[in-house]
Structures are given as C-alpha cells and as structure tokens.
Amino acid sequence: MIPVPRSLRSETRYWVLLSLSSLALAGGLALLLALSRTPGVQEYLPVHFFRAALVTHVIFSVVIWYLGMAAAVCTYLVAARSSPYFSEERTDLFRFAPSLAMGGMVLLLVPFSLGLGEPSLNNYVPVIGHPVFGLGLVLLGVAFSAPFYRVLMWPDGRDSGACLFCARGLAAVWFLALVCCVLAALTMPSGLQSVPFNETLFWGTGHLLQFLNFLMMVLIWQDVGRRLHGEYPLSSGLLRTIVVLVVSVALLGPFLYLFLDPRDARLFSHFTLLYQLGLIGQPFLAVAGLVGALLCRGLKPGTVQGTGLGLSCLLFVIGGLFGYVLGGGDTRTPAHYHLVIGGVMLALMVFLATVLLPWLGYSLVRMRSVLRCLGLYGAGQLLHAGGLFVAGSSGVARKTAGGSQGLDTPLEIVSMLAMGCGALIAVIGGASFVWIIGSRLLGPPSVLSESLTESGGRYLAKT
C-alpha cells in the first residue's frame, strides 16, 4: 500500500479545476473567433475584438491549460513517491501555487474585458500591452514553477521509473524556457515596437514549451497504454532515450542568447532549427512505439483509452506532416499547430477521465459520454484544420478576420466555412467534456482510496 498524501491530492484537484476553467473560457472565445472569420457572420463583429479575443484565447487554451495540466501530472507523480521525504508541512509553500495561478488568470482577463491596451499578435505567447496583463503573466510563471521545481527535487524512493524521469525532463524544459525569456529580456535592444518586442521576448520560450507539451503527451501515452494492454507501449529505455534527446536539444536554447544578438535573424532561424531537431526524430520514436503496440496488442476502439490513444496519435501525426508544407504567413501554420496541440489535448482528456478523476476519489463518468466528446473534438479539429490548410494553400492569410481575409474564390469560401463548422464541432466536444469532468470535481469525492494501488495510480508510478 502506498499512502496518498491528502494535501497533494487536494492540490492536484485545484490544478485540474484551474486548467478546466481556462479551457472553458478559451472554448467560448474560440467559438467567437471562428464566427468572426465565417462568411455571413464576420461582418457583425469588430476587428479589434477579434485581435483581443485571439490573444486571450491563445493564452488560456495554449499556455494556461497545458501548463496547468502539466502541473497536475507532476503533482500526481509526486504523490506516487513512496519516500520518508514527504511531510504535510513541506508542501505548504506549494499548495498555494494554484491560487496564485488563479489570480494571474483574473488579471489576464481585465485588459480584455475593459478594452485596455493594444493586442500584440506575436507567436506562442501573444500579449495585450498593459501592465495588468504583464503582472498576470508573472504570477502564472511563478505559480507553475512550484510543482515543476518539486518534481525535479523529489527523491525516487523505492518506485523509481521512467515516468518520473519523463516528468523531470518536462520540468527541466520549463526552467530552460524561463531562462530563455530572462536572457531575451536582458539583451533586448531599446526602441522596439510592441509586436517585434514580444516576438523576440517569447520566441525561444515558445519553442521550448512545445517540447514540454510533447513530453507530457508521451508520458500520458505511456500510462494510458499500460491501462489498455497491461504493459507499456514504450520500453523504459526508449522513453528515457526520448527524454534525454529532447532535453539535450532544449539545453542549447539559452546558449543562443549568449552568442547571438536578439536583432540577429539567425536567432530566430536557429530556434526553428532547434524545434526541428527536438521534435522530428523524437516524436517518430514515440509514435512508432505507440503504433507498434496498438497494432500488436489491439486498438480496442470501443474503449475510452483505445479511442483516445488512436485519435491523439492520428491528429499529432497529420499535424506533423502539415508542418513540412508550411507557407509562412498563411493559415497552413495554424492548421499544423491546431492538429499537433489537438493530439496533446486528446491525451489529456483521456488521462483526466480514466486516471485523475478516479484517483481523486470521484466515481467514473459514463464512458459513452466521454467517447462522444473525444469523437466530436477529434473530428472537429480535423475538419477545422483541414479547412485552414486548404484556405492557406490558396493564400488566405493567418491572423486576419472579416473582409481582410480576402476570400475571393469559391474554394476559399468553402474551406473557411468548413473551418468554422469544424471549430464549432470541436468546441461542442471540448465544452461537453469540461462540463462532464468539471461538474464532478466541483462536488465532494464519492470514493476516496487511500492508496495509488487501489486507483491504478501505480501504473504511472513505475516503469
């Protein structure tokens, strides 16, 4: 029996609630964004609203949601450590981190709600140029650092495994991303306008955060695959190799700031090269391991685990293939990104429904409802990204709305209509999932197991 510290269980629940809240807000904004780019509707929404809503949507759906869930996964793994190092008092400073992050979220909403500041549509971490928004980002950075620091420092105990090793790699990438942001700020030339300034500030950080998302997805594939087939899809040695390769590439990021001026175009191209080095071969190894396991042991499409793994891998692979034919400033870039990050999203949905929810003491939801959510989200994202890809191939620019999109041909109009329909379907699937899981978590636990063994958590604790 492995006792589960109640404070860590409670902290994990708060991280999940924070993440679901951010996703719910982002989903509502996503629907408005899709409508603002859909022919027949876009004329009734102001362009300035599109820009501010896009910034807020990206922050909540791409930054807070994924980092919040990474924090929940790391906290869960710490709870799985059987070690005398743990004591309730030693987590006092960490248990306030979700509240600090919630405060940061509220601050981010203030400029958008009141129409303050100018939106900056830079890549990865877009911002609204207002001090309140900046303070919100700082609070979030401090809050997320707490669980990542703890998983880095937590001893192995008697249950050392590659999953903890993967979580430590994830945490290491987070701190490397922060170092890149600090170095960019310290070496920033004066006089830059809003978009170039923020693009330079978050360019390296944003690239490394994609490494973090990838490692989190692989960690979840490993656990869910174990629950599906009784054995892990990736061997311990293969998982460790993937983690070492990803972190080794990420380590090069901060050094670029030591040798290249932020105004040097080579800094941007070198980070793109790092992205290619860190997320081409390593994902191939992970996908090959997962696909091999599914082919040899069976996909089991009638199960939440099998459906979730299959859809997650499918979206991730198609999104990766889209990445080889990007067009720079057209909508093929968001098509690539929505599919890749959608693969991570589907993995998190399965992990929440089948792992974290029962471990937190809540009765299992109806698996048929979860399957419906997975299908709607996966199909919607495929249609959404497919529309964006076809439109981008015809030259439709990204980060535009209304008449500025220049939809001149029937193909462009139809593809953007498909994009809008796909976004609506995906939002329905995502919103339904948030409602199903969130409504359970807002109530009291029904069955509180005292061990990870009883809830199946040991499958994530050992490899």
What count of other Cβ atoms lies within 10 Å of the Cβ of residue 333? 20
Is the residue at 450 inside a domain? no
Q: Are residues 148 and 194 in the same domain?
A: no
Distance CA 340, CA 287 (A): 13
> Which of 288, 358, 360 has the alpha carbon at shortest distance from 320?
288
Q: Are residues 271 and 346 in the same domain?
A: no
Average model confidence (pLDDT) for the chain? Answer: 86
What is the count of structural domains for the chain? 3
Q: What is the pLDDT of residue 193?
A: 87
Q: Please state whether 144 falls in left (phi above 0), alpha (psi between -120 and 50) or beta.
A: alpha
**Residue that terminates a domain, selected from 139, 155, 171:** 155
Q: What is the pLDDT of residue 393?
A: 81
Residues 6+ apart with CB under 8 A from 73: 167, 216, 219, 220, 351
Q: Are residues 190 and 106 in the same domain?
A: no
Q: What is the pLDDT of residue 43?
A: 64
Q: Are residues 282 and 333 in the same domain?
A: no
β-strand partners of 363:
none
Distance CA 225, CA 92 (A): 34
Is the residue at 326 inside a domain? yes
Tell me the residue range of the domain where 59 lies: 1-155
Q: Are residues 292 and 316 in the same domain?
A: no
Q: Label residue 253 exposed, middle or buried (CB < 10 Å: 0-12, 13-18, 19+).
A: buried
Is the residue at 148 inside a domain? yes
Q: Label residue 444 exposed, middle or buried (CB < 10 Å: 0-12, 13-18, 19+).
A: exposed
Q: Are residues 68 and 171 in the same domain?
A: no
Is the residue at 304 inside a domain? no
> Using an 8 Å Cβ cutoff, are 12 and 73 in contact?
no
> Which of 178, 179, 170 has the alpha carbon at shortest distance from 150?
170
CA distances to 128, 298, 361, 382, 383 from 405, in Å: 22, 45, 49, 21, 19
Q: Are residues 19 and 134 in the same domain?
A: yes
Q: What is the pLDDT of residue 3?
A: 55
Q: Are residues 282 and 323 in the same domain?
A: no
CA distances to 103, 303, 363, 425 from 372, in Å: 33, 11, 19, 11
Q: What does the buried/exposed string (b/e) look like for 160-186 if buried means 16 or more CB atoms within 10 Å of the residue's CB?
A: ebbbbbbbbbbbbbbbbbbbbbebbee
Is the residue at 303 inside a domain? no
Distance CA 22, CA 123 (A): 19
Q: Are residues 82 and 116 in the same domain?
A: yes
Q: What is the pLDDT of residue 445?
A: 81
Q: Alpha helix (H) ranges present in 187-303?
A: 194-229, 236-259, 265-278, 281-297
β-strand partners of 192:
none
Q: What is the pLDDT of residue 451?
A: 43
Q: Which residues of the chain have pLDDT under 50?
A: 1, 82, 84, 89, 158-160, 449-463
> Which of 274, 279, 321, 334 has the alpha carbon at shortest distance from 126?
334
Q: What is the pLDDT of residue 158?
A: 47
Distance CA 37, CA 39 (A): 7
DSSP 266: H
Residues 6+ apart with CB under 8 A from 23: 60, 61, 65, 430, 434
Residues 6+ apart with CB under 8 A from 244: 169
Is the residue at 352 inside a domain? yes
**Residue that terminates a domain, selected from 135, 155, 175:** 155
Q: Are residues 195 and 339 in the same domain?
A: no
β-strand partners of 3:
451
Residue 428 token pair: 């329905």
Q: What is the pLDDT of residue 395?
A: 74
Residue 11 token pair: 């902290």
Q: Are residues 205 and 284 in the same domain?
A: yes
Is the residue at 218 inside a domain? yes
**Residue that terminates a domain, selected from 128, 155, 182:** 155
Q: What is the pLDDT of residue 169?
A: 96
Is the residue at 370 inside a domain? yes
Q: Are residues 369 and 422 in the same domain?
A: yes
Distance CA 261, CA 362 (A): 52
